[in-house]
Structure 1
Amino acid sequence: MPQTPPAFTDKTTITPSEGAVPSLPSTPAFSPLYRQIKGLILNSLRLGDWKPGEVIPSEMELAARFQVSQGTVRKAIDELAAENLLVRRQGKGTFVATHAEQQVQFRFLKLVPDTGTPGSEGPAQRDIIECRRAKANADVARALALRTGDTVLQIRRVLSFGGTPTILEDIWLPAAAFKGLTAERLANYKGPTYALFETEFNVRMVRAEEKLRAHAASNGIDTLLKVASGTPLLCAERIAYTYKDIPMELRRGYYRTDTHHYHNTLN
């Protein structure tokens, strides 16, 4: 069980000099109290006190633990739920979100069929082309906060829908965090890849950044996606982060858009 932090009230501002919460250097001292409680909960998630899919203590229990009002805890949890890190279930409590859940599976996959909704085609058929250890070049090292030449896992796979190859993905992962990941394990795991990372490697992707550009199919990409050379594709380059903004994956996807389109909701 995590240690109970010193008591403070809803009017307290935690500062480093008070030594109240030494584990929150990234939380500004002037931030509202509910944000500081949010930081404490995030720290427990990062440390694995509550695993993906597990229920967290109730608002009343957390309020007693942190010695703040229940409303302050509720506001912190509301933000974490809005960020898809926690999931509220009516009458059951609040759970740590997991990529195995249906509503979370398509959070980072924005390519949807022209007719239908995300997931309406059923799970993608995955063909693992390769999964090997390699040395990070300068671009991969920069994206993953590694040194050039550090060891990474390099994965290439094709995702097909209804038998039609639709997405080609090149993925780079820091090898140290994914020791034991093989092409066989990737192929045999039936759930979402990010759920595999959660359950078997204790790595949870909590946010991602993407860059989009047009790309002409060539250099073998056309063959794998079964399109003519020069066919226009959508290229999406994503860096996915775990807690504390640590980059854990570089993914470059090449998308066919003859029967699919990129869809995003902007708030």
Structure 2
Amino acid sequence: MTRETLRSAARASAPTFSPLYRQIKDFLIGCLERGEWRPGDVIPSEGELAQRFNVSQGTVRKAIDEMAAENLLVRRQGKGTFVSTHSDPRAYYRFLRLMPNDGIAVPSVSEPFYCQVVDAPPEVAAVFGLAPGGAVVHIKRLLRFGGEKVVFDQIFLQAEFFPGLTLELLRAGERSLYSLLESDFGVRMISAEEHLRAVAADEECAALLGVQCGEPLLLVERTAYTYGNRPVEWRKGLYCTRNHYYRNELG
């Protein structure tokens, strides 16, 4: 693809001018979405990409810098630039921000106990843009930290993206949920939006988490998006914060 082709495509798709590096970035994201480079793959060097697009290496570098800042790519000194993957241990805490009070992070253990294709509840259908009664995969699971039951998750996934997802598959191996969805179904979670509020434990979650009915819990509602800003997951997590806190970094 030449510089003029990139500019023509940008003019055709958007009424406003887009900087050249942003056009390169959009094209690279398209390559990721189409599977030209899979999660964990090394991408061509900046010099090779500059030659491919007939632009300066600095233009390519600026595009890659933005993609690295957005966790789409990972630079590794002396090795190259790689497509980000949920299988990378360094990505583990990007979407799970719960920490023990002593600040020493420990991996969580997922215990899924329900997985069925169901009609989408109204709030889930609205998030996904589905017609009433559209199909979603409903998952229920517990997360343990150091043996302690800390999170009760109810997860909804757009069924069309995850055919054949079963409870047995969720229970197999020690992969994170996002790693499984990425490797087995080709769907990578790129970004997420969360809403947090305090709620009182009802009978179901009190029994599952081993707390008293009415005990305060942290409710975390998350919508996760794949390429193209498409929502593919909505979840409602109830967090017991007796020995843990929700950690976020600003700035």
Which TM-score band applies after superposition, normalised by the shorter structure?
Answer: over 0.9
Higher helix share: 2
Residue 87 (structure 2) pairs with residue 100 (structure 1): yes
Give 1:6 shift: 2.8
Give 1:161 shift: 1.3
The correspondence for 1:261, drawn from 232, 245, 250, is 245
Report matched runs for 1:162-173 at 5 Å. Answer: 162-173=146-157
Tell me which amino acid in the other structure corresponds to 2:3: A
Distance 1:156 1:232, change over 3 A: same
Q: Which runs of 5+ in 1 are unaligned?
A: none
Which stretch shows the higher mean deviation, 47-56 or 144-153? 144-153
Asked whether the 8 Å contact 2:2–2:52 carries over to 1, the reply is: no
How many pairs were matched up?
Answer: 251
Give 1:137 shift: 1.9
SS of 2:44's partner is coil
SS of 1:227's partner is coil
**1:129 maps to what in 2?**
113
**Dislocated runs of 4+, deviation >3 Å:** none
Asked whether the 8 Å contact 1:189–1:196 carries over to 2, the reply is: no
Residue 67 (structure 2) pairs with residue 80 (structure 1): yes
The correspondence for 2:233, drawn from 244, 249, 259, is 249
Describe the superposition over 1:62-105 as per-residue Cα deviations: whole angstroms up to 9, x where unpaired.
00111000000000000000011100001110000001112211
Q: TM-score, normalised by structure 1?
A: 0.90
Describe the superposition over 1:160-211 as per-residue Cα deviations: whole angstroms up to 9, x where unpaired.
1122100000000011110011111111131211111111000000000000
Distance 1:69 1:28, change over 3 A: farther
Residue 201 (structure 2) pairs with residue 214 (structure 1): no
The correspondence for 1:177, drawn from 140, 161, 164, is 161
Q: TM-score, normalised by structure 2?
A: 0.96
Q: Distance in 2 between matches of 1:28 and 1:43?
A: 20
Asked whether the 8 Å contact 1:111–1:263 carries over to 2, the reply is: yes
Tell me which amino acid in the other structure corresponds to 1:112: M
Q: Distance in 2 between matches of 1:115 and 1:78?
A: 34
Asked whether the 8 Å contact 1:13–1:32 carries over to 2, the reply is: no
Q: Which runs of 5+ in 2 are unaligned?
A: none
Asked whether the 8 Å contact 1:114–1:260 carries over to 2, the reply is: yes
